[in-house]
C-alpha cells in the first residue's frame, strides 16, 4: 500500500534506535518495492506471452509511435533527476529548492500521464479498444498499471508539497522525501524496462 | 434533543433527498420511481440520482450520529465537564465565498436544465459542495466559543474530504489539459508539444532553482500565469477537438500479429440442414 | 515557513555511511542515462535490425540503465546492504520465476536460440 | 499413559493397513493400481518402489515418534533437567544428505519413465479426442487424408495390442482424459493439442472419468475405452465407415421424421463426410452434440452415465457378441423426456441438450429410430 | 488550515475542565481501553492477534460446515442432498474459506501476538497498518461470504482454472466475489507482510541478533517474505480474471488466442509458496512447544532456521508440479518433478530435528505437546504422499483424485491445524490469563486424531481406486461406497472434537477464577514472551529486555553451578517483569484503519453491482488516507508519560505539533 509512506512521514522510530539503525518507513518502502517487482514481473511476462497471439489487428507494430514514447521516456527520466535533486536539496537543508524540485517532478509526472492519456486515446481512435484483441487487453493493462503507479507518485509528491508549505517538511524529514523518491525512481525503472521490452523490441 | 450539528446534517439530508426526487423527475423518471428509489417506476438519470440519494442518506446518518452522541452541543459538553454554564457561543466571523459559488451553481443548474446535462450535473455538484461546506462550517462555528477550536473541528471533519478532491482536481486538470493539447496536435506536433511541455517545466524549475533571490511573489505570479495558461490552452484544445485519426486500417493481415493462432479443434458434426441417412431419398 | 520548534538541532542529514553524489554528479548521471536512451531510441531507426540483434543491443542497455538508477538515484550503492538484499531478492525471484514460466511456454525458443547460434 | 499411547499405535497403524487394502480392491473399475497396458505398467513399475520407500520412511518416523514418546516420557516427580543437547552437526548433515540421495534415485527413475512415456511409438494409430461440456468426442482419420472419417462419442474403440496416439483437445474449458488402466491423465486444454499414448493388452472395457473440474456436470463426464481384438475392430471400423441404416419399420420411419424436425439442429446422423464441417468452432461454447449416426453401436450414452445395452455389465466385462441384445429403452426415454433432469446441464447457455417437450408418442418413435442406428 | 491535533490545549473551557477534551463526539480520537470501541479502534498487536484468532475460528466453523455438507453428500452413492450447482459452490467456498480465511489468519494471529513479544518489542513497526491489515482481511472474508446471499458462491474450484471461470462458463456473480474478495484479502496480507518483515528486521530488542530469534519468529519471517512476493502474483492473476469478467478483456479468451495455461502458471506461482505460508508458522509453533515440554533446547537451531529458509526458497521453484497433467512437455515436467522432490530434504531435516529434540528429553504429555507430536506424525504422512505426487508419471494417475485430497488435508489439517491447535493450548494462559482445561484438551486431541485419520486416511484408498475429486456424486459399483461412508463418519467425529474445543474454551473461561493463576511462566518456557505477566500487559515489557543468549529467558532461569551442572537459579516470578509499565509509551488507537478497510468491500460491491457504490468506496478510501495522514500516530491528548526520562511539556501551545512529538514516539506509523 502506497499510502503508508504518504501518511507516515518517517516519524516511527525516532528516539528509539532500530535494530538495524535504519528507519522503518524506508525499510518498508524497499520491502514493498521488492514485492512490486513481482507485480510488474507478472504483468510484463503476461504481455510478452500474449502480445503476438492476437487473432486480429491492430498490432503493436501498427500503432506504436516511438518518437512520441521516447519523449515521454525522457520526461520521466528528467523527473527522476529532479526527484533526486529534491532529496539532496532537502538533505542539505534547502527547503526552498526542495519545494521547487518536488513541484517540477510532479509536473513532469503529469506530463508523462498526459502523454499516456494521449497515447491511449490515439490507439483507441486507431481501432485498438481494450477488448479488441488480446494485445489490446495486455497492453492497456500493463501500461495502465504503470500509469496508476505514476499517478500515485504524483499524489504523494503533492502531499509533500503541502506538508512543506505547512512547515512540516524540514531537513529532519529528508528521509520521507527520500522514501517517496525511492518509489518514484522505481516507477522510472519499470518504465525503462517497459520502454525497451514493450516498445523497442518488436 | 436535536443538537445544532444534527440539525444541519438532517437538513442536508432532507434537502438532498428532495433534490434527488426532483432530479429524478426532471431527467425522465416515471411514476413513483424517484421517491421509491426506482421500486415503483423509473428514476431518470441514474448517476445523478444515486449520488443525490447517497448524499441524502449520508446526511441523515451523520445527523443521527450527532443526535446519538449529543455531539457538539455545548450543554452536553458542559455537563460532561461538570460545569454550571455552557461556554457561550460566539458568532462566527469570516469570509463567506459560499453564497457566490452557490449562486453560480444554481445558475448552472437552471441553465443546464435547458442546455445540457453536463452543465446540470456540474452545477449540482457545485451546489452540493457549497451546501456541505457551508453547513459544516455553520455547525462547527457554533460548536464552541473558540474560533480556533471551531476551525480545527471543521478541518478535522472536512480535510479528509477536501484535500483529496482538490488534489484530484489539480492533478486531473493538469493531466487533462496536457492530453488535450497533445490530442489536438498532429502526430509530429504531439511529439513537439510533449517535448516543449517537459522542457518548459524543467527549465522553469531550473530557473527558479538557480535564482535563490527571486521573490516568492514573482514565483507565485509566474506559476499562476503558467497554470492559467495551461488551463486556457487545455480548454482551447479541447474545444478545437482531437485531430482526425486516420481511419482504423483494416489489418487482418495473416502474417502480422497472428504468430500463434488460436488452436481450434475441428468442427463437430452439428448440422443445421439435413440429416438424411444415406440411401434415403 | 519552516516552523520547526524542535529543541534539538535538526538531525544532521541522514548518514548513509558514504558520501552521496553531489548535484552535479546527479546531473552527469542523468546525462549518461539520457545518452543511453538516445542510443536505444536510435535502434528504432536501424532499418534491417532483426529481433535478435535488437534484443542483443537493447537488453544490455536496459540493464545498465536499471542499475544506474537503482544504484545512484536510489542510493542502493551507498545505503545499508539490507535494502539491496530485499530489493534484489524480489527482482531476482521475479526474473527467474517468470523466465522459467516463459520458457515453459516456449517463449525463448525462437529468439533466444538464435542469439546462441 | 500407556493406554493412550496404544491408541496412537492403532491410529498410526491404521493408515498403512488401509493403504494395503486399497491396493487389493477388486471391484474398482477405475483402480489406478491395476494396469492393463504397457504405459500404465511403466507407471506401476515406478509407483511400487516409490511407495515402498515411502512406506519405509513412514514406518521409521511413526515408530520413531512412538518410541521416543514412550521412552523419554517424564516419570512422576522427576524434576531433573535432561542433558542439554544443542545439536549434532554431523548427524544433521547426515540426515540432510541421506534423503537427498534417496530422492536423487527416485528422481532419476521418474525422469526416465517420464521420457519413455513421452515417446510415441512410430506405428501408433492416431485418434483425436475432443472434450467438451460434458462428453467426449473421438475422431478417426482412417485413410490419413486429413479428413476425419469416423466421428463418435463416449466409447473410444481401439484395437488390442496397438499403441494409440491420442491428440487431446477441447472445445470450451479444460477437461482431462483419463483411463486409469491404460495411462495417466492428460488435460484437454482449449487452444492446445496434447499428445497421449495408450495401449490395451487385452480386449475389454476400460472406464474413465473426466478429471479436471469443468463446471456443472463434471462428475457426469465419463468415458470408456473399448478394446477389441483385431478382427472385431475391423468389423467395427467397417460398420462405422458406412452410413446409417435406413429405417424400415413404420414407427422408426416416423422417428426419423421427428428427428429431422427436433434433433437435426444439433445432431448429425448420416454417412461419413457429409456435413461434418459445418460447425466451425467460432463460439467459445462448443454448441456441439454427439454424432448419432451409429448411436446404437455404442455401449453407453450421455457422457457415459447410462448404459445403452443392459448386458454390458458395470465391471467392464463386456462380451462383444452380446452387444445389440437388450436396448436400454427406459433410460433412453428418460433422457429424451427431460435431459437436464438426468444430467445437470446448461442448455440455455448452449451447453448441453435442452428439454424438447416431446410427447410420449414422439419419444417412442424416436427411440425406435435411434435403435436402428447401429 | 491548521493541523488538528492538540485539541485539548486550545479549548476555551474554564480552567479545571480537563475531562472534556474533545468536543467532537465520534470524530474525536478514540481512547477506550475496554468495550467494543477499544477493539474497533485498537492498534495493539495483541488485541489484533486475538481478533485474527477469533475470526479464523469463526470462519473455521463456516468452512467446516461446508465440509460437512460435502461429506454428507458423498456419504453414499447417488445422493441428491446438494445439487451439482450447489455442490460446486460448496467445495469451492470450502477450499477458499479454509485456506484464505482460516489457516492464513490463524497464522497471522500467532504471528501478531507473539512475534513482537518474542523479539522484545513494544509493538509492531506500524501499528495502525497492522489494524488496517486485520480489518481489510475480515471485510474481505465477509465480502466473500456474502456471495451466498447475492447470487451464489464461487463455483470454479479454489484454483479457479480459466476459462471455466470466465463469464461464459460461470455467469453468476460467484467468481466475481472470488476474484475481488481474494484481491482484498491479498491487500491485507501484503500490508501485514511488509509490516511484520520490518518488525522483525528492525524492532528487535538490544542483543537480539538474527541468530538468536526464536524459531517461531524465524518461520514467521520466512512466511511473511513468501507472502510479500507471492501475493502480487495472484493479485495480477485476479486482476486479469476480473478484467476479463467485468470489462470483456481477452486474457483467457481462447478464441482470441489466449492460452489457459497462463492462469495455471500465475495461480500456482502464488499457490505453491502459499502452501508453505500455511505450514511454516505451524512448524514454528511446534519448534517452540517441543523443546519446552522435553525440557531441552531445540536440536540443531541453525539447521532448523536454514531448513525453513530453504523451504521458503525452494518453494518458488516447484509450482508446476500442480500441472503435471496439463501438457507442459516432458522437459519442464522433469525439471519440476525433480525440484519438487528435493523439498523433502529440508522438511525431513525439520522432522528429524524435532525427533532429536524429543530424544533424551523428559517429555510431559500436555495437550500442546500431544498436538505437536501429532503434527510430526501426521504431517509426515502428508509429506510422503506429496513426494509420491512429485514423481510426475505417478502423479498423472493421482492428480485430481482423492489421493490428492488426502495429501493436502494431511499436510494442512494434520500439519498446520494441529500446530495451531497446540499453539492455542500452549499460549492460551499467556493471552488470557487462564489455562484451557488439560483433560478436555486431551479428549479434544484424541478425538481429533481419530476423526482426522478416519476422514482423510480412507481418501488415500479412494483416490488410488480412481475416485475423482470435485465430483458431486459417484455411482454404485466403483468400490467407493464403504470408504466414503467411513470418511463421512470421520468428518462428524472431527466436528464433535471441534465442539469439544469450544466447550473447553467456554468452561475454562467460566472456571478461570477457580484456577490458580498461571503466573508469567506456567510451562517453564524459553522465549521472552514468558518473561512478562499473563495476560500480557498492554505495553508488553516494562523495560526493553536485553538479550544475551538464544532462549534468553530460559538462560536467566537456569545457569551452570560451580560443578558445571545446569540448575535452576531463579524462579520465573522472581525475575519476570511486573507489568507496571512505568516507562512505556504506546501508539494511540485510531478509527482510520477500520474506516479505510470498509472502502475495499464497497469498491468490490460497486464493481459487481453498480459503479456508484465504488465511487463512494473510492471517496472513503481517499478520505481515510488523508485523515490517516493528518492524524499523528501518537495521541498527545493522552495523559503525560515519562519516556526514557525525557519529560514532555504537554502545555506547549505549539501548532506544528509533529515536530515536537517526533522525539518521543516509541512505535508509530
Ligand atoms: C500445508 C500445505 C502443504 C504442504 C506443506 C505440502 C507439501 C508438499 N506437497 Fe503438496 N499440496 C498442498 C498443500 C501442501 N503440500 C495442497 C493444498 C495441494 C492441492 C492443491 C489443489 O490441487 O487443490 C497440494 C498438491 C501437491 C501436488 C500436486 C498434486 C496434483 O494435484 O497432482 C504435489 C505434487 O508434487 C505436491 C507435493 C508436495 C511435496 C513434495 C511436499 C513436501 O513439502 C513434503 C515434504 C515432507 C516430507 C517428505 C515428509 C518428511 C520428510 C522426511 C521424514 C524425510 C525423508 C523423506 C524422504 C526420503 C522421502 N503437493
Ligand atoms: C485449511 C484447509 C482445509 C481444512 C482445514 C479442511 C477441512 C476439511 N475438509 Fe477440505 N479442502 C480444502 C482445504 C481444507 N479442508 C481445500 C483447499 C479443498 C479443495 C477445494 C477445491 O477442490 O477447490 C478441500 C476439499 C475437500 C474435499 C473434496 C471436495 C471435492 O473435491 O469434491 C473434501 C471431501 O471430503 C473435504 C473435506 C474436509 C473435511 C471433512 C474437513 C474437516 O476437517 C473439517 C472440520 C471442521 C468442522 C467439521 C467444523 C466443526 C465445527 C462445528 C461443526 C461446530 C458447529 C457449531 C455451530 C453450529 C455453532 N475438503
Ligand atoms: Cu470435463 Cu471435468
Ligand atoms: Cu504445490
Our CA-based measurement puts residue E117 at a distance from the nearest CA of chain D, in whole angstroms, of: 24
Are residues D259 and D217 part of one domain?
A: no
Establish whether chain C is in contact with chain D, requiring a minimum of 3 CB pairs below 8 angstroms: no
A103–B190 C-beta distance less than 8 A = no
Query: Of B31, B57, B80, which residue constitutes the final position of a domain?
Result: B80
pLDDT above 50 for E663: no
Are residues D268 and D210 part of one domain?
A: no
Reported as half-sphere exposure (CB side, CA atoms, 13 A), residue E266 has a value of: 32
E660–C6 C-beta distance less than 8 A = yes
Residue C12 lies in a domain: no
C83–A200 C-beta distance less than 8 A = no
Q: Which of B113-122, D1-10, E599-608 has the lowest mean pLDDT?
A: D1-10
Region E100-104: mean pLDDT is: 96
Round to whole Å and give the CA distance between E255 and E248. Answer: 13
Region E275-302: mean pLDDT is: 95
Region D239-261: mean pLDDT is: 84
pLDDT above 50 for E657: no
Are residues C24 and C58 part of one domain?
A: yes
Our CA-based measurement puts residue D271 at a distance from the nearest CA of chain E, in whole angstroms, of: 30
Q: How confident is the prediction for chain D on average, in pLDDT?
A: 83
- Which range has the top average pLDDT, A170-179, B103-112, D320-329, E563-572? A170-179
> Closest ligand 3 atom to the C-alpha of D174?
1
Which residues constitute the domain of residue D114? 31-58+88-119
ipTM of this predicted complex? Answer: 0.86
Q: For ligand 2, is residue E75 a contact (CB within 6 Å)?
A: no
Choose among B160, B22, B106, B69: nearest CA to B14: B22
Are residues C112 and C64 part of one domain?
A: no
pLDDT value at position B14?
79
Are residues C85 and C75 part of one domain?
A: no
Give the nearest chain B residue to D369 (CA atoms): B277
pLDDT above 60 for E20: no
pLDDT above 50 for A8: no
Any E CB within 8 A of A165 CB: no
Residue D129: CATH number of its domain: 2.60.40.420
Our CA-based measurement puts residue D67 at a distance from the nearest CA of chain E, in whole angstroms, of: 10
pLDDT above 60 for D8: no
The neighbours of chain B, by the rule of 3 or more Cβ pairs under 8 Å, are A, D, E
Helix axes D2-24, E367-390, angle to 10 degrees: 20
Round to whole Å and give the CA distance between A37 and A41. Answer: 6
Q: Which of D146-155, D174-183, E369-378, E521-530 has the lowest mean pLDDT?
A: D146-155
Rg of the Cα atoms in chain C: 21
User: Per residue in C5-46, pLDDT tens?
Assistant: 333 333 334 444 457 788 888 999 999 999 999 999 988 888
E625–A168 C-beta distance less than 8 A = no
E236–A131 C-beta distance less than 8 A = no
> Closest ligand 1 atom to the C-alpha of E405?
19
Are residues C85 and C74 part of one domain?
A: no
Where does chain D show beta strands of DSSP type E?
A: 125-132, 135-140, 150-153, 155-159, 164-170, 175-177, 186-188, 194-198, 204-209, 222-228, 300-301, 306-307
Are residues D151 and D94 part of one domain?
A: no
Residue B54 lies in a domain: yes
- Mean pLDDT by groups of 10 residues along chain B of 281 residues: 65 77 74 70 74 81 74 53 49 55 70 67 78 74 67 72 78 87 87 91 89 82 86 82 62 38 44 38 33
Any E CB within 8 A of C93 CB: yes
CA of B4 to the centre of ligand 1 (A): 64
E398–D95 C-beta distance less than 8 A = no
Higher pLDDT, A119 or D277: A119
CA of B244 to the centre of ligand 3 (A): 50
Q: What percent of chain E has pLDDT over 90?
A: 70
Round to whole Å and give the CA distance between A119 and E55. Answer: 47
Q: What percent of chain E has pLDDT over 70?
A: 89
Identify the burial level of E512 via C-beta atoms within 10 angstroms of its C-beta, where 0-12 means exposed, 13-18 middle and 19 or more buried: middle
Cell of B102: 452557490
Identify the burial level of E539 via C-beta atoms within 10 angstroms of its C-beta, where 0-12 means exposed, 13-18 middle and 19 or more buried: buried
Query: Of B19, B50, B80, which residue constitutes the final position of a domain?
Result: B80
Region E435-455: mean pLDDT is: 95
pLDDT above 80 for A148: yes
**The cell 455547525 sits on which residue?**
B139
Choose among E540, E534, E536: nearest CA to E518: E534
Rg of the Cα atoms in chain E: 26
Region D170-176: mean pLDDT is: 92
Give the nearest chain D residue to B270 (CA atoms): D266
Chain D positions touching E301 (Cβ under 8 A) are: 86-87
pLDDT value at position B250?
47
> Closest ligand 1 atom to the C-alpha of D98?
58
Cell of E318: 516447484
Chain D positions touching E418 (Cβ under 8 A) are: none
Residue D64 lies in a domain: no
CA distance readout (Å), E146 to A35, E150, E173, E605, E612: 30, 6, 11, 10, 19
pLDDT above 50 for E654: no
The neighbours of chain C, by the rule of 3 or more Cβ pairs under 8 Å, are A, E
In chain A, positions 115-154, which contact chain E (CB-CB < 8 Å)?
130-131, 133-134, 136-138, 141
Residue nearest to atom 5 of ligand 2 (CA): E413
Question: Which among B264, B267, B273 has the least Cβ separation from residue D277?
Answer: B267
pLDDT value at position C13?
40
Query: Residue D216: nearest ligand to its CA?
Result: 3
Residue D67 lies in a domain: no
CA of E318 to the centre of ligand 4 (A): 7
Round to whole Å and give the CA distance between B43 and B37. Answer: 7
Domain map (residue ranges) of chain A: 25-200
Are residues D353 and D259 part of one domain?
A: yes
Are residues C64 and C113 part of one domain?
A: no
Question: Which among E13, E27, E257 has the least Cβ separation from residue B262?
Answer: E257
E351–D106 C-beta distance less than 8 A = no
pLDDT value at position B10?
78
Q: For ligand 2, is residue E68 a contact (CB within 6 Å)?
A: yes
pLDDT above 80 for D114: yes
Which residues constitute the domain of residue B222? 168-247+272-281
pLDDT value at position A162?
84
pLDDT above 50 for E669: no
Region D235-245: mean pLDDT is: 84
pLDDT value at position D311?
60
The neighbours of chain A, by the rule of 3 or more Cβ pairs under 8 Å, are B, C, E
Residue B136 lies in a domain: no
Round to whole Å and give the CA distance between E458 and E485. Answer: 9
Chain E positions touching B82 (Cβ under 8 A) are: 17, 19
A35–C37 C-beta distance less than 8 A = no
Our CA-based measurement puts residue A55 at a distance from the nearest CA of chain B, in whole angstroms, of: 6
Amino acid at each position: 500500500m502506497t499510502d503508508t509512506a504518504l501518511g507516515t512521514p518517517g516519524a516511527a522510530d525516532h528516539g528509539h534506535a532500530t535494530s538495524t539503525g535504519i528507519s522503518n518507513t524506508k525499510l518498508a518502502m524497499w520491502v514493498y518495492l521488492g514485492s512490486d517487482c513481482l507485480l510488474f514481473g507478472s504483468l510484463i511476462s503476461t504481455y510478452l506471452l500474449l502480445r503476438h497471439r492476437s487473432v486480429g489487428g491492430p498490432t503493436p507494430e501498427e500503432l506504436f509511435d516511438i518518437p512520441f514514447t521516447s519523449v515521454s521516456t525522457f520526461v520521466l527520466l528528467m523527473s527522476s533527476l529532479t526527484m533526486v535533486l529534491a532529496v539532496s536539496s532537502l538533505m542539505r537543508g534547502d527547503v526552498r529548492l526542495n519545494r521547487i524540485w518536488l513541484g517540477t517532478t510532479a509536473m513532469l509526472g503529469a506530463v508523462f500521464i498526459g502523454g499516456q492519456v494521449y497515447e491511449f486515446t490515439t490507439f483507441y481512435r486507431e481501432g485498438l479498444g481494450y477488448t479488441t484483441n488480446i494485445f489490446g487487453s495486455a497492453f492497456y493493462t500493463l501500461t495502465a498499471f504503470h500509469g496508476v503507479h505514476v499517478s500515485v507518485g504524483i499524489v504523494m509528491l503533492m502531499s509533500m508539497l503541502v506538508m512543506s508549505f505547512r512547515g512540516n517538511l524540514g531537513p529532519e524529514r529528508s528521509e520521507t522525501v527520500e522514501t517517496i523518491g525511492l518509489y518514484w525512481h522505481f516507477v522510472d525503472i519499470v518504465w525503462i524496462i517497459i520502454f525497451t521490452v514493450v516498445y523497442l523490441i518488436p | 434533543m436535536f443538537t445544532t450539528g444534527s440539525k444541519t446534517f438532517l437538513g442536508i439530508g432532507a434537502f438532498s433527498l428532495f433534490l434527488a426526487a426532483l432530479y429524478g423527475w426532471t431527467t425522465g423518471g416515471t411514476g413513483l420511481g424517484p421517491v421509491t428509489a426506482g421500486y415503483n417506476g423509473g428514476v431518470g438519470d441514474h448517476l445523478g440520482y444515486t449520488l443525490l440519494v447517497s448524499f441524502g442518506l449520508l446526511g441523515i446518518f451523520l445527523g443521527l450520529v450527532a443526535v446519538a452522541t449529543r455531539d457538539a452541543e455545548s450543554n452536553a459538553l458542559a455537563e460532561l465537564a461538570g460545569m454550571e454554564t455552557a461556554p457561550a457561543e460566539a458568532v462566527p466571523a469570516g469570509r463567506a465565498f459560499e453564497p457566490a459559488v452557490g449562486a453560480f451553481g444554481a445558475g448552472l443548474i437552471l441553465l443546464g436544465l435547458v442546455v445540457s446535462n453536463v452543465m446540470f450535473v456540474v452545477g449540482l455538484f457545485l451546489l452540493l459542495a457549497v451546501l456541505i461546506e457551508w453547513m459544516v462550517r455553520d455547525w462547527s462555528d457554533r460548536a464552541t466559543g473558540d474560533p480556533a477550536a471551531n476551525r480545527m473541528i471543521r478541518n478535522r471533519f472536512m480535510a479528509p474530504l477536501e484535500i483529496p478532491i482538490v488534489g484530484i482536481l489539480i492533478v486531473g486538470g493538469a493531466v487533462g489539459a496536457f492530453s488535450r493539447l497533445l490530442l489536438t496536435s498532429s502526430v509530429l506536433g504531439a511529439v513537439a508539444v510533449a517535448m516543449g511541455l517537459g522542457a518548459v517545466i524543467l527549465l522553469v524549475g531550473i530557473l527558479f532553482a538557480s535564482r535563490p533571490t527571486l521573490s516568492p511573489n514573482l514565483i507565485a505570479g509566474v506559476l499562476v500565469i503558467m497554470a492559467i495558461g495551461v488551463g486556457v490552452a487545455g480548454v482551447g484544445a479541447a474545444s478545437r477537438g482531437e485531430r482526425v485519426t486516420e481511419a482504423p486500417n483494416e489489418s487482418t493481415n495473416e502474417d502480422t500479429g497472428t504468430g500463434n493462432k488460436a488452436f481450434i479443434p475441428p468442427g463437430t458434426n452439428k448440422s443445421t440442414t439435413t440429416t438424411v441417412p444415406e440411401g434415403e431419398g | 515557513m519552516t516552523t520547526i520548534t524542535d529543541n534539538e538541532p535538526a538531525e544532521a542529514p541522514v548518514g548513509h555511511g558514504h558520501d552521496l553524489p553531489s548535484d552535479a554528479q546527479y546531473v552527469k548521471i542523468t546525462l549518461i542515462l539520457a545518452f543511453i536512451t538516445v542510443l536505444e531510441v536510435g535502434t528504432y531507426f536501424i532499418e534491417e535490425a532483426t529481433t535478435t540483434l535488437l534484443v542483443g543491443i537493447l537488453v544490455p542497455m536496459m540493464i545498465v540503465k536499471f542499475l544506474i538508477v537503482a544504484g545512484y538515484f536510489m542510493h542502493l550503492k551507498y545505503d545499508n546492504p539490507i535494502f539491496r538484499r530485499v530489493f534484489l531478492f524480489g527482482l531476482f525471484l521475479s526474473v527467474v520465476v517468470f523466465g522459467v514460466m516463459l520458457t515453459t511456454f516456449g517463449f525463448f525458443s525462437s529468439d533466444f536460440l538464435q542469439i546462441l547460434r | 499413559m500407556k493406554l493412550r499411547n496404544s491408541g496412537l499405535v492403532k491410529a498410526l497403524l491404521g493408515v498403512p493397513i488401509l493403504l494395503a487394502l486399497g491396493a487389493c480392491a477388486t471391484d474398482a473399475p477405475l483402480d489406478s493400481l491395476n494396469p492393463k497396458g504397457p504405459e500404465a505398467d511403466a507407471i506401476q513399475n515406478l509407483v511400487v518402489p516409490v511407495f515402498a520407500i515411502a512406506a519405509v520412511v513412514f514406518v521409521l518416523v511413526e515408530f520413531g515418534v512412538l518410541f521416543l514418546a514412550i521412552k523419554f516420557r517424564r516419570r512422576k516427580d522427576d524434576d531433573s533437567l535432561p542433558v542439554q543437547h544443542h545439536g549434532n552437526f554431523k548427524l544433521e548433515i547426515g540426515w540432510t544428505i541421506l534423503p537427498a540421495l534417496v530422492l536423487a534415485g527416485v528422481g532419476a527413475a521418474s525422469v526416465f519413465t517420464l521420457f519413455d512415456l513421452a515417446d510415441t511409438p512410430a506405428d501408433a494409430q492416431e485418434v483425436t479426442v475432443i472434450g467438451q461440456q460434458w462428453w467426449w468426442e473421438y475422431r478417426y482419420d482412417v485413410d490419413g487424408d486429413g479428413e476425419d472419417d469416423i466421428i463418435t462419442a463416449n466409447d473410444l474403440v481401439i484395437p488390442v495390442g496397438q499403441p494409440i496416439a491420442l491428440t487431446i483437445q477441447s472445445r470450451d474449458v479444460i477437461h482431462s482424459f483419463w483411463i486409469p488402466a491404460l495411462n495417466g491423465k492428460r488435460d484437454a486444454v482449449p487452444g492446445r493439442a496434447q499428445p497421449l499414448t495408450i495401449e490395451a493388452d487385452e480386449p475389454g472395457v476400460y472406464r474413465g472419468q473426466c478429471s479436471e473440474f469443468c463446471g456443472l456436470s463434471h462428475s457426469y463426464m465419463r468415458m470408456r475405452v473399448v478394446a477389441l481384438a483385431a478382427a472385431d475392430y475391423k468389423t467395427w471400423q467397417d460398420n462405422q465407415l458406412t452410413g446409417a441404416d435406413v429405417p424400415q419399420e413404420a414407427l422408426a420411419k416416423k422417428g426419423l421424421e421427428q428427428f429431422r424436425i427436433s434433433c437435426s439442429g444439433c445432431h448429425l446422423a448420416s454417412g461419413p463426410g457429409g456435413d461434418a464441417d459445418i460447425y466451425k468452432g467460432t463460439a467459445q461454447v462448443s454448441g456441439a452434440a454427439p454424432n448419432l449416426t451409429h448411436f446404437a453401436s455404442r455401449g453407453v450414452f450421455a457422457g457415459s452415465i447410462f448404459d445403452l445395452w443392459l448386458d454390458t455389465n458395470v465391471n467392464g466385462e463386456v462380451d462383444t457378441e452380446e452387444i445389440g441384445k437388450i436396448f436400454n429403452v427406459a433410460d433412453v426415454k428418460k433422457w429424451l423426456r427431460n435431459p437436464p433432469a438426468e444430467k445437470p446441464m446448461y442448455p440455455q447457455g448452449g451447453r448441453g441438450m435442452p428439454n424438447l417437450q416431446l410427447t410420449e408418442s414422439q419419444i417412442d418413435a424416436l427411440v425406435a429410430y435411434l435403435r436402428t442406428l447401429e | 488550515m491548521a493541523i488538528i491535533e492538540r485539541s485539548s490545549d486550545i479549548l476555551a473551557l474554564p480552567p479545571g475542565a480537563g475531562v472534556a477534551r474533545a468536543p467532537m463526539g465520534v470524530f474525536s480520537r478514540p481512547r477506550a481501553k475496554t468495550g467494543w470501541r477499544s477493539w474497533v479502534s485498537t492498534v495493539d498487536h495483541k488485541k489484533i492477534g486475538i481478533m485474527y484468532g477469533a475470526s479464523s475460528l469463526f470462519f473455521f466453523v463456516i468452512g467446516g460446515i461446508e465440509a460437512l455438507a460435502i461429506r454428507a453428500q458423498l456419504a453414499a452413492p447417488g445422493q441428491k442432498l446438494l445439487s451439482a450447482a450447489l455442490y460446486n459452490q460448496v467445495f469451492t467456498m470450502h477450499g477458499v474459506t479454509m485456506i484464505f480465511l482460516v489457516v492464513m489468519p490463524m497464522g497471522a494471529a500467532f504471528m501478531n501476538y507473539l512475534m513482537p513479544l518474542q523479539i522484545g518489542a513494544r509493538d509492531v513497526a506500524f501499528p495502525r497498518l497492522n489494524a488496517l491489515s486485520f480489518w481489510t482481511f475480515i471485510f474481505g472474508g465477509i465480502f466473500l461470504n456474502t456471495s451466498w446471499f447475492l447470487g451464489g458462491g464461487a463455483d470454479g474450484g479454489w484454483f479457479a482454472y480459466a476459462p471455466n471461470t470466465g463469464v461464459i462458463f460461470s455467469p453468476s456473480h460467484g467468481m466475481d466475489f472470488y476474484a475481488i474478495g481474494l484481491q482484498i484479502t491479498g491487500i491485507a496480507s501484503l500490508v501485514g507482510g511488509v509490516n511484520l518483515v520490518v518488525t522483525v528486521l528492525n524492532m528487535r530488542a538490544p542483543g537480539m541478533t538474527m541468530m538468536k530469534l526464536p524459531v517461531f519468529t524465524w518461520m514467521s519471517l520466512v512466511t511473511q517474505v513468501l507472502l510479500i512476493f507471492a501475493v502480487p502474483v495472484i493479485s495480477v492473476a485476479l486482476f486479469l480474471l476480473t478484467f476479463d469478467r467485468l470489462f470483456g478483456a481477452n486474457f483467457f479468451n481462447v478464441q482470441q488466442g489466449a492460452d489457459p495455461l497462463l492462469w495455471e502458471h500465475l495461480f500456482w506461482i502464488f499457490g505453491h509458496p502459499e502452501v508453505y505460508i500455511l505450514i511454516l508458522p505451524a512448524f514454528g509453533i511446534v519448534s517452540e512447544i517441543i523443546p519446552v515440554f522435553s525440557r531441552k533446547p531445540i536440536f540443531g537451531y541453525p539447521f532448523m532456521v536454514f531448513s525453513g529458509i530453504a523451504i521458503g526458497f525452494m518453494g518458488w521453484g516447484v509450482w508446476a508440479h500442480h500441472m503435471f497433467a496439463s501438457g507442459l512437455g516432458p522437459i519442464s515436467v522433469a525439471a519440476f518433478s525433480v525440484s519438487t522432490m528435493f523439498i523433502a530434504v529440508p522438511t525431513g531435516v525439520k522432522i528429524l530435528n524435532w525427533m532429536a529434540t524429543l530424544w533424551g528429553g523428559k517429555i510431559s504429555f500436555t495437550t500442546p505437546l500431544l498436538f505437536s507430536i501429532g503434527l510430526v506424525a501426521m504431517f509426515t504422512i502428508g509429506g510422503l504422499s506429496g513426494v509420491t505426487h512429485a514423481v510426475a508419471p505417478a502423479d498423472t494417475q493421482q492428480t485430481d483424485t482423492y489421493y490428492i485430497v488426502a495429501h493436502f488435508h494431511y499436510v494442512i489439517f494434520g500439519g498446520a491445524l494441529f500446530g495451531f491447535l497446540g499453539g492455542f493450548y500452549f499460549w492460551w494462559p499467556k493471552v488470557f490469563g487462564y489455562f484451557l482445561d488439560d483433560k478436555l484438551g486431551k479428549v479434544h486431541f484424541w478425538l481429533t486424531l481419530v476423526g482426522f485419520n478416519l476422514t482423510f486416511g480412507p481418501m488415500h484408498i479412494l483416490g488410488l481406486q480412481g475416485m475423482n475429486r470435485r465430483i458431486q456424486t459417484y455411482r454404485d459399483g466403483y468400490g467407493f461406497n464403504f470408504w466414503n461412508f467411513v470418511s463421512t463418519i470421520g468428518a462428524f467425529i472431527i466436528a464433535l472434537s471441534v465442539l469439544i474445543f469450544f466447550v473447553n474454551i467456554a468452561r475454562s473461561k467460566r472456571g478461570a477464577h477457580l484456577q490458580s493463576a498461571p503466573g508469567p511462566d506456567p510451562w517453564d518456557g524459553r522465549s521472552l514472551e514468558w518473561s512478562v505477566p499473563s495476560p500480557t500487559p498492554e505495553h508488553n515489557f516494562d523495560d526493553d529486555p536485553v538479550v544475551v543468549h538464544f532462549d534468553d529467558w530460559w538462560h536467566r532461569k537456569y545457569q551452570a553451578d560451580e560443578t558445571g551442572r545446569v540448575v535452576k537459579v531463579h524462579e520465573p516470578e522472581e525475575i519476570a517483569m511486573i507489568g507496571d509499565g512505568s516507562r512505556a509509551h504506546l501508539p494511540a488507537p485510531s478509527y482510520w484503519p477500520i474506516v479505510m478497510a470498509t472502502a475495499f468491500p464497497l469498491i468490490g460491491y460497486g464493481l459487481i453491482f453498480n459503479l456508484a457504490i465504488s465511487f463512494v468506496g473510492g471517496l472513503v478510501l481517499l478520505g481515510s488516507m488523508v485523515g490517516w495522514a493528518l492524524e499523528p500516530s501518537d495521541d498527545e491528548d493522552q495523559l503525560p508519560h515519562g519516556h526514557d526520562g525525557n519529560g514532555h511539556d504537554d502545555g506547549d501551545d505549539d501548532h506544528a505539533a509533529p515536530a515536537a512529538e517526533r522525539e518521543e514516539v516509541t512505535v508509530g506509523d
